[in-house]
């Protein structure tokens, strides 16, 4: 993957919430334990302080930083990854970060609780900044959200540095050729080509609850190209077997930087892998990315 993609990741950042509670200590994990078996410790996340489960390990998965919106997503790769999967701090992006499959089950002042398929997301608004906790243990998430202390969040929404470049003039030598016969007039192509290199900056995959539902991919095109058109191809797999042909589809990048691609058919099995190819309108391959998916009905982010 291009280094620019790694440095400037995209919106899409919430992972699939899973059910079940596993308490990982220095012994074999216990089953059916309560939230009160999870010990919390203070942790510094630069923009805020919060209590997190002992043994958890949060590392930055995605960052987006623009003049009017921004977010940072930390993913837990240590213990209690089901109970507390991730933490997001953001400005002006919460509506896009909560999957439409989640239901609002509680609202209390500046806090909202969403639920779907055994997973929860708690949103707390402090000083025009939203903190989102993702996990399966509502008791632990509540204890954590109550411990939050917001610090300076100005850097979450800062203009990106613009490169100071001077366009290079092209010198084209022309050679006289015989005039060709007039060709039939073609319909004008109003599609706008991309300016410069384009990259995959993250995205969202949604699989429906029924086998008749199609798979939807919402891919963030990094680098600032709203209104421009690209060609995208997505191949889905399950257990190493291809689920689709993977047609090349032309799509226009929205104002939010995303393109939406629905699968042509519904699949008998939920995919466990997606392979994305991104082209410019001239058919030149720009970048590729392989995404590992959980093979069930869900909203998954990468």
Assign residue 256 the CATH number of its domain: 2.60.40.10
Residue with the two structure tokens 């701090």: 89
pLDDT greater than 50 at residue 82? yes
What mean pLDDT is predicted for residues 132-144? 95
Tell me, yes or no, whether 79 lies in a domain: yes
232 and 104 housed in the same domain: no
Q: What is the CB neighbour count within 10 angstroms for residue 258?
A: 23
Q: Confirm if 81 and 23 have CB atoms less than 8 A apart.
A: no
For residue 180, the model assigns a pLDDT of 65
Q: Tell me how many domains the chain contains.
A: 2
pLDDT greater than 50 at residue 26? no
12 and 139 housed in the same domain: yes
For residue 172, the model assigns a pLDDT of 45
What mean pLDDT is predicted for residues 255-275? 83
Q: Residue 18 is encoded by which pair of tokens?
A: 């899973």
For residue 4, the model assigns a pLDDT of 41
Q: How far is it, in rounded angstroms, from Cα 232 to Cα 219?
A: 10
9 and 136 housed in the same domain: yes
Q: Is residue 119 exposed (0-12), middle (13-18) or buried (19+ Cβ within 10 Å)? A: buried
Q: Confirm if 145 and 131 have CB atoms less than 8 A apart.
A: yes
Cα separations in angstroms, 163 against 66, 90, 160, 166 = 15, 25, 9, 10
Residue with the two structure tokens 């996340």: 45
Assign residue 46 the CATH number of its domain: 3.40.1000
Q: Confirm if 228 and 194 have CB atoms less than 8 A apart.
A: yes
Confidence band of 181 (pLDDT split at 50, 70, 90): low
Tell me, yes or no, whether 175 lies in a domain: no
For residue 65, the model assigns a pLDDT of 78
Confidence band of 14 (pLDDT split at 50, 70, 90): very low
What mean pLDDT is predicted for residues 234-238? 88
pTM: 0.47
pLDDT greater than 50 at residue 166? no
């Amino acid at each position: 993957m291009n280094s620019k993609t790694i440095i400037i990741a995209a919106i899409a950042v919430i992972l699939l919430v899973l059910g079940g509670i596993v308490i990982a200590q220095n012994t074999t994990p216990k089953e059916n334990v309560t939230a009160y078996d999870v010990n919390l410790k203070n942790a510094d996340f630069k923009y805020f302080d919060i209590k997190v489960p002992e043994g958890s390990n949060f590392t930055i998965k995605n960052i987006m930083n623009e003049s009017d919106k921004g977010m940072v997503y930390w993913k837990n790769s240590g213990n209690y990854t089901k109970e507390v999967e991730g933490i997001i701090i953001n400005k002006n992006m919460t509506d896009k970060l909560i999957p439409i499959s989640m239901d609002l089950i509680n609202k209390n002042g500046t806090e909202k609780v969403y639920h779907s398929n055994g997973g929860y997301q708690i949103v707390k608004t402090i000083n025009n900044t939203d903190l989102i906790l993702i996990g399966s243990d509502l008791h632990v998430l509540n204890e954590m959200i109550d411990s939050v202390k917001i610090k300076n969040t100005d850097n979450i929404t800062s203009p990106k540095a613009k490169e100071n470049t001077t366009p290079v003039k092209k010198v084209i030598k022309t050679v006289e050729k015989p005039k060709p016969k007039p060709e039939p007039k073609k319909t004008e192509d109003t599609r706008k080509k991309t300016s410069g290199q384009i990259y995959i900056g993250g995205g969202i995959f949604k699989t429906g609850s029924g086998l008749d539902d199609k798979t939807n991919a919402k891919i963030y095109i990094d680098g600032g190209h709203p209104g421009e058109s690209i060609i995208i191809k997505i191949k889905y797999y399950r257990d190493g077997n291809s689920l689709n042909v993977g047609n090349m589809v032309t799509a226009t990048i929205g104002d939010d930087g995303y393109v939406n691609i629905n699968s042509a058919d519904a699949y008998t099995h939920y995919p466990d892998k997606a392979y994305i190819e991104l082209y410019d309108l001239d058919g030149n391959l720009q970048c590729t990315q392989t995404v590992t998916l959980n093979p069930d009905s869900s909203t998954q982010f990468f």
